[in-house]
Amino acid sequence: MTESPTISVEDIRDVLIRSISAELGIPPSELATDRPFAEHGVDSLAALSVAMELEDACGLTDLPATLLWDYPTVDVLAPALRHLADGRPMPAGEGE
Amino acid sequence: MEPLASTLVQTRAARVVPASSQQVGLWFIHQADPSCAAYHLLFAAEVVAGPEVGDRVREVLTDLVREHEALRVCFRPGQDGPVQYVEHAVPLDLRHRDARHLDPDALRRQVRADSRAPFDLTAAPLWRIHLYRTGEESWVVAFVAHHIAVDFWSLAMLLAEVRSRLNGTASLFPLDGSAFADHARNQSAYLASGAASGLLAAEAERLAEAPSSIDLCGDRPRPPVPSHEGGSVPFTLSPAVSDGVRVLARETASTRYMTLLAAYNVMLSRLSGQPEVLVGTPTSGRLQRRLRHALGNFVNTVVVRGHVDEASTYRELLAATRERVVAAMRGQELPFPWLVRMLAPQRDPSRTPLFQAGFAWDRLPFLANMGQFFLLEPDPSTAVTVAGARLRPYPVPQQEGQTDLWAEMGGERDGGYVGVLRYNTDIFTEGTARGLAATFVATVEALVGRPDVPMRQLSRCDRQQAAALDRWGHGPVRELPDTTLPALIRAQAGRTPDATALVADGEQWSYARLQRAVDAVAAAVRTAGAGPGACVAVLAERGAPLVAALLGVLEAGAAYVPLDPQLPAARLGYMAADSGARLLLTQERLRAHWPAEIPACRLDDVLADGAGLSGHGTVREPAAAGAHPAASTDLAYVLYTSGSTGRPKGVAVPHRALINLLLSMRAETGFSPSDGLLAVTTVSFDIAALELFLPLVAGGRVIMWDGAAADGAALAARIAESGATWIQATPTSWRMLRDAGWDGSPRLHVLCGGEELPAELADFLAPRVASLRNVYGPTETTVWSTAGVVRPSAGVDLGSPLANTQLLVLDGSGRRVEPGFPGELHIGGAGLADGYWRRQELTAERFVTGLPAAPDRRLYRTGDRVRWTSDGRLLYHGRLDSQVKLRGHRIELGEVEATFQAMDGVAAAVAVVRDDRLVAYLVAEPGVTLAPSALRTSAALTLPQYLVPNLVIILPELPRTANHKIDRSRLPAPSPETDVPFTQPRDAVEITLARVWGELLGLPQVSIHANFFELGGHSLLAVQLAAAVRAEWGRELPVSTLLTHGTIAELAAVIRRDEQDTVRGPLVTLRRGDTARRPLFLFHPFGGTIFCYLELAKHLPPGRAIHALEAPGLDRAGDAEVSVEEMATRYLAHLREAQPHGPYALGGWCFGGVIAFEAAGQLHALGEETDLIAAIDTRAPVPANVPEGADDATLLSWFARDLAVPFGTTLDVPAEELRSLGTDDAFDQILARAAAIGVLPGDSDRAQLLRYFEAYLANGIALQTYFPDPTALDLLLLRATDEPADHGPALGWEPLIRGSLEVVDVPGDHNSVMYPPHAATVAAAIAQWMGEHPR
């Protein structure tokens, strides 16, 4: 969490949308940010790739394997990661 | 191998890195089964290419091996577990084979066999390439790797990298061949962290109280250790169903994996019959960035805990499954083998821990255009071109046998999901696996098609399966004549009046005579006013009158209620009263058994009065004036069976059902007029109806067996001399016959039923008889519902339905289950009883109509768990309720429990069957002391013998589960509890009996006053006991003797009574041993008896037999030897029968040590070796040790004293007292006092005591005159250190032993060394010298 201390929620959303649409092979515009990732076809393998992209972008390591299940939409996940990048605990996710 | 490479291998040391938890797990699997190929990963393809491509591939691979350490690893044992070695240089392992002469099938077999050739995990590389040349420019190539080194992701990345390099294009990603080296270290650091312990706690909670295994109901008995052998079955979901999966996944925010896993769980839940199913699922294990492109094995398996409630919808199940999968994924960083170790679940070495079924979803996004290469049934048009080479998939099954079942999905073909179902061939046949795959496809289709309907409302079985079930489950349809049993027999009697119908009591009854007797009985029944609709109780001994009575009742239009005089009076009374019987047909000699309050009609009178009952004659027309013959729908009999509520229940069977059984079995067996059936079953068991009536409807004869049911030897003899061609009996009876030495009858056709037919018994029976049929059916569907010829090689099944009979295997929702799936057998058709006599509620519960599988059909719910195999054989899988079959008897445990619960002082009762014994566990009310033997006795007043527990065990409280149900699995193992204090055997007969009882009952020691049946003995064990008595004493002991002489002491008295006439050797076996190992022989001490060795024998290490030699004079007057040399010679003759040649192991306490010494000397002279002479506190036979002379009275006093020593008591009769009495009175005095304290058997007489004394005197004379020469023998002397008399440090042996003289001091005095607690020390000292000595 040293590399990009100032990354914004918007930046995180962009990373998320870009990596998920790339992973699923769909245009970013088709990704509804209030709908669960799984609804778009994200599976655990895709989730792993997305999580790694997020680690790189946010300068975080060891994100939980179930991140995209615990915070199942872009709208929920992005602010949660923002908290984490600030060194604060993540808010309770839906899957907990 | 190139010379340069090999030099490198030798000169540069390998790098050593630790192995990960998963690798350690695979290492141990390999250690346990080095031929295991279940963890070989495989990629194979057909290639068309020029030789230059091959050279190029070789270069690329060589480069890759040089670049990446991960391709150069192997494993060797380290300090604790394996260590990973990274070699510096590793040659390619390329294996060429010219396959141009092989046809495609042979090649496929060859590739499969080669791919399964085991790896040596200690030698790199742990991967290899098989190349098969199939043409000028065509090849089959197979890449095989051991999973311990790489995972499938690595294999795919390698493939992508090779492809890029061959094509000369950029790599898809930077392959990392060294990250693996730090993985294990990182893993152990992580596992020591707080994060890991947090996850572990969560996993422990998540998996708490999960079922320890799921029983997937296989075809074969599970081997004690899995073999890792398996097979693969491909399956395909249609594009439409696959679309349904995609849509549902999206709608429920699940993955396709979760959606299909939920369906898989539904299938497993149905297969195992349990709602909870644990499924293993692999995860990539590449959570960290650094492992993303690493070569190695990182895969980790997590356990998904599924729960299926078919009352919910599939959509609801999906939502729950999603949460359960995510919960499992949270723990994915904990390596599975580590998790197993930490959770330490209950282990069963025959099963994989935690889960037995797996589900994998594999997707290789970067190899998208090669997806077909990983399918078992790829699209045949698939082809890719790499660097001018053309590749086509070459599917070979792999990774088979890792678990019981494993479904692998993730691939698609033509828009449909495809998968492979791997199964372990230890338990599943290929046919069953195919059926399971088809069922999975049908299950997905049904669930996805109607995701919002409760799952239990969806139908099971596809059309093909339903058609097969119809074919297998419906017996032939045959028109049933509208008639009754007596009418059929009358017709037969009209056709063959003079043919023999019955052979009983040494008489032959013709059909005409039988018919006249039947008519006489019918007339008597009518006269007594018991016509149609009435019940008539029949209580008669086995014989022709019994058959006449049963048929006479039917002829009169009434129904019979069979009563077996062997049943307790209370039970007979209950049956008579409950049935409302208006008349009792019985015999005068059974008067003691007559239930009160029913008018009795003596068969003796009826049959004696009947005019012209003997001799020839014609058969009269039926029915005197005013008679109403029965209709086919009228009741034929009411038969009582064990009832779960504690009261027997009557099954009401109509004529129609009985006729259907008899005619169907006549067709099945081909029973002919020349056949005779030996009827052995009691009338209180419904199958007796077949034995008594089938021969009569076929014009054959019934041969009545009237001996004791448990007398196997007598029955075997009767089978042989009766000329019977048919017999029906339970497996228990067949075992009894086998134990009695019966070895088959080539002319005998056999029906075996009443309980499960074990395969080993079928193997024994089938080749020894003309034919063997397994028959099955509950009383409620009239004797039998299925029958089939047993072919042992094919296994035992229940056979096929009888005529007009339908078998349906249904689940708890009343749906038909798929072939291969277990369910409850429901039976419909003409054999159905009317129901339970006057028990409407119970009838409605068990005889059901309106089930989804057959809404209009009345079905009997059998409570039997069964399964159709894929080839239409019906297999039995036990009971669904607490009804058990024990030795052929149907037992409702509830009835046993209710009986005890009703007794005073009993707070709670539980009955179980353990090791073929019925055991009752009781808890007493506060302040009450329960006496097990008294409780058994009072249970026997109301329960038939087979319902009386073999063991009654009193517990302070019953074990309970978390939700306070009685936990039967935690009831303590039955150990006999008897109120009889332990008394040890008093002579050789009792010693031998005690040993035999201990062996049969599995007890370490048996009191001579404990009752055989109270210790858990039962009729079958009694048969074995009788056989042991025959072997030991050559005496035929009727099993009935055991019933009346139930203790060792009583039985010994019977055996002793005429043992005087038989010559028995002096060798007594104290303990049997491994026949491959040499026994230990112990010689009697002064006095000739051998009780002193009982305690020692208990403590000597197991394995070697222990024989003792007692003085022959004890049994026969005037047989006492008076010289040690003669004694030894005589004993050696017997000893050498048991062990013809040395080396021998000998020993003895006191004087016994002297005999052992002499015996060893004689053996030496015969050229035989002795490797152990153990003398226990034996004074050397030297003049200095000879005692002062003593008169008769002194000797007699010593004799009395020594008599009591073995029993841990004292018998002190002073010499002065004896001297004043005179010899005879002195003897009487000792006899009385010895018997009073239990030192001599109660039936001992003076003659016996005299013989004991003679032997004592003879020993004394022998010892005083034995002064041997020194010898070269070795002696082990155990010296009792607390003995007050001083006989020197080696008890005077020094001058006699020229070999080694080893003296071991043991605590105790001369007598107490042989008894607790010192005998154990002596045994331990001898054990040192008794190592492994193969015979």
Report the range of poorest mean pLDDT among B605-619, B629-643, B784-798, B1254-1268. B605-619
The chain A residues in contact with chain B (CB within 8 A) are: 36-45, 48, 52, 55-56, 61-62, 64-66, 69-70, 72, 95
> What architecture (CATH level 2) is domain B1065-1187+1266-1335?
3-Layer(aba) Sandwich (3.40)
Please compute the mean of the pLDDT values over residues B467-483 and round it to a whole number.
95
| pLDDT score at B1032 | 80
- The CATH number of B976-1062 is 1.10.1200.10
Residue B91 preceded by cis peptide, ω within 30: no
* Whether A41 and B283 lie within 8 Å, measured CB to CB: no
Most A CBs within 10 Å, among B291, B318, B330, to test the A interface: B330
> What architecture (CATH level 2) is domain B485-670?
3-Layer(aba) Sandwich (3.40)
User: Which one is predicted more confidently, B967 or B238?
Assistant: B238
Burial class (CB in 10 A: 0-12, 13-18, 19+), B765: buried
Classified as helix, coil or strand, B1017 is: coil
User: Would you list the domain boundaries of chain A?
Assistant: 9-85
Tell me the shortest Cα–Cα distance from A50 to chain B, in angstroms.
11
Residue-wise pLDDT tens digits, B1151-1163? 999 999 999 999 9
Please compute the mean of the pLDDT values over residues B537-541 and round it to a whole number.
96
Nearest-CB residue to A66 (from B250, B326, B363): B326
Q: Is the pLDDT of residue B1 over 50?
A: no
Residue with tokens 């009072």: B938
Number of CB pairs, chain A paired with chain B, less than 8 A apart: 55
Contact B695/B685 with Cβ under 8 angstroms? no
What b-and-e string marks burial along B1022-1048, b requiring 16 or more CB atoms within 10 Å of the CB? bbbbbbbbeebbeeebebebbeebbbb
- Chain A residue nearest residue B258, CA to CA: A43
Residue-wise pLDDT tens digits, B154-205? 999 999 999 999 999 999 989 999 999 999 999 999 999 999 999 999 999 9
**Rounded (10°) angle between helices B655-669 and B485-495:** 50
Nearest-CB residue to A55 (from B250, B289, B326): B289
Classified as helix, coil or strand, B1113 is: helix
Residue with tokens 């029915």: B623
**H-helix or E-strand containing B98?**
strand B94-98
Nearest-CB residue to B363 (from A45, A72, A95): A45
Tell me the shortest Cα–Cα distance from B128 to chain A, in angstroms.
29
Residue-wise pLDDT tens digits, B18-59? 999 999 999 988 988 899 999 999 999 999 998 888 899 999
Chain A residues with CB under 8 Å of B330 CB are: 64-66
Tell me the shortest Cα–Cα distance from B368 to chain A, in angstroms.
13
* Whether A38 and B363 lie within 8 Å, measured CB to CB: no
Residue-wise pLDDT tens digits, A64-76? 888 888 898 999 9
Report the range of poorest mean pLDDT among B18-22, B114-118, B621-625, B1072-1076. B621-625
| pLDDT score at B10 | 45
Nearest-CB residue to B250 (from A39, A48, A70): A39
| pLDDT score at B1075 | 81
- Chain B residue nearest residue A51, CA to CA: B287
Residue B315's beta-bridge partner residues?
A: none
* Whether A38 and B288 lie within 8 Å, measured CB to CB: no
Q: How confident is the model at residue B1118 (pLDDT cuts 50, 70, 90)?
A: low
Chain A residues with CB under 8 Å of B322 CB are: 38, 69
Tell me the shortest Cα–Cα distance from A60 to chain B, in angstroms.
11
How many CA atoms, within 13 angstroms, populate the side-chain half-sphere of residue B610? 25
- Chain A residue nearest residue B257, CA to CA: A43
| pLDDT score at B2 | 39
Most A CBs within 10 Å, among B243, B246, B247, B255, to test the A interface: B255
The chain B residues in contact with chain A (CB within 8 A) are: 249-251, 253-257, 283-284, 286-289, 292, 322-323, 326, 329-330, 332-333, 361, 363, 365
B375: phi then psi, degrees, rounded to nearest 5: -100, 150
Chain B residues with CB under 8 Å of A72 CB are: 253
Q: What is the ipTM of this complex?
A: 0.88
Instruction: Match domain B885-970 to its CATH number in 1.10.10.10, 3.40.50.620, 3.20.20.70, 3.30.300.30.
Output: 3.30.300.30
Please compute the mean of the pLDDT values over residues B426-449 and round it to a whole number.
95
Residue with tokens 């035929």: B1036
Contact B439/B820 with Cβ under 8 angstroms? yes
| pLDDT score at B544 | 95
* Whether A66 and B330 lie within 8 Å, measured CB to CB: yes
Most B CBs within 10 Å, among A44, A52, A58, A66, to test the B interface: A44
Please compute the mean of the pLDDT values over residues B1114-1123 and round it to a whole number.
71
Arithmetic mean of pLDDT over chain B: 88
Most A CBs within 10 Å, among B157, B281, B289, B323, to test the A interface: B289
Nearest-CB residue to A69 (from B287, B326, B333): B326
Nearest-CB residue to A43 (from B255, B286, B332): B255
Contact B391/B45 with Cβ under 8 angstroms? yes
Please compute the mean of the pLDDT values over residues B894-917 and round it to a whole number.
85
| Percent with pLDDT over 70 in chain B | 93
Structure-token pair, residue A19: 């990596």
> What architecture (CATH level 2) is domain A9-85?
Orthogonal Bundle (1.10)
Protein fold of B804-881: Luciferase; domain 3 (2.30.38)
Chain A residues with CB under 8 Å of B250 CB are: 38-41
Structure-token pair, residue B210: 């999960």
Tell me the shortest Cα–Cα distance from B261 to chain A, in angstroms.
13
Report the range of poorest mean pLDDT among B436-445, B576-585, B850-859, B1219-1228. B1219-1228
Tell me the shortest Cα–Cα distance from A39 to chain B, in angstroms.
4
Please compute the mean of the pLDDT values over residues B899-914 and round it to a whole number.
87
Report the range of poorest mean pLDDT among B63-72, B555-564, B730-739. B730-739
- Calculate the CA dihedral of residues B791, B797, B803, B808 and round it to 10 degrees: -160
Residue-wise pLDDT tens digits, B914-923? 877 788 899 8
Tell me the shortest Cα–Cα distance from A5 to chain B, in angstroms.
20
**Which range scores top for mean pLDDT: B75-84, B244-253, B826-835, B1229-1238?**
B826-835
Residue-wise pLDDT tens digits, B784-809? 999 999 998 888 999 999 999 999 99
Dihedral sign for Cα B969, B975, B976, B980, please: negative
Chain A residues with CB under 8 Å of B286 CB are: 48
Residue-wise pLDDT tens digits, B78-130? 877 899 999 999 999 999 999 999 999 999 999 999 999 999 999 999 999 99
**H-helix or E-strand containing B276?**
strand B276-283
Distance of alpha carbon B773 from the chain centroid:
22
Chain B residues with CB under 8 Å of A52 CB are: 289, 292
- Chain B residue nearest residue A67, CA to CA: B330
Contact B434/B468 with Cβ under 8 angstroms? no
* Whether A38 and B289 lie within 8 Å, measured CB to CB: no
**Angle (nearest 5°) at CA B139 between B135 and B145:** 155
Burial class (CB in 10 A: 0-12, 13-18, 19+), B69: buried
Residue with tokens 């492109």: B293
Chain B residues with CB under 8 Å of A61 CB are: 288-289
* Whether A48 and B287 lie within 8 Å, measured CB to CB: yes
Cβ neighbors of B1126 (< 8 A, separation 6 or more) are none
Contact B18/B131 with Cβ under 8 angstroms? no
Cβ neighbors of B993 (< 8 A, separation 6 or more) are B985, B1008, B1048, B1051, B1052, B1055
| pLDDT score at B612 | 43
Nearest-CB residue to A41 (from B250, B287, B288): B250
Distance of alpha carbon B447 from the chain centroid:
38
Residue B914's beta-bridge partner residues?
A: B917
Rounded to whole angstroms, the Cα distance separating B948 from B935 reads: 10
Tell me the shortest Cα–Cα distance from B253 to chain A, in angstroms.
5
**H-helix or E-strand containing B551?**
helix B544-555
The full DSSP string for B229-271 is -EEEEEEE--HHHHHHHHHHHHHTT--HHHHHHHHHHHHHHHH
Tell me the shortest Cα–Cα distance from A46 to chain B, in angstroms.
9
Please compute the mean of the pLDDT values over residues B310-326 and round it to a whole number.
96
Nearest-CB residue to A52 (from B253, B289, B363): B289
How many angstroms separate the Cα of B805 from the Cα of each of B71, B636, B832, B857? 65, 19, 9, 12
Report the range of poorest mean pLDDT among B756-760, B847-851, B961-965, B1294-1298. B961-965
Nearest-CB residue to B329 (from A52, A65, A72): A65
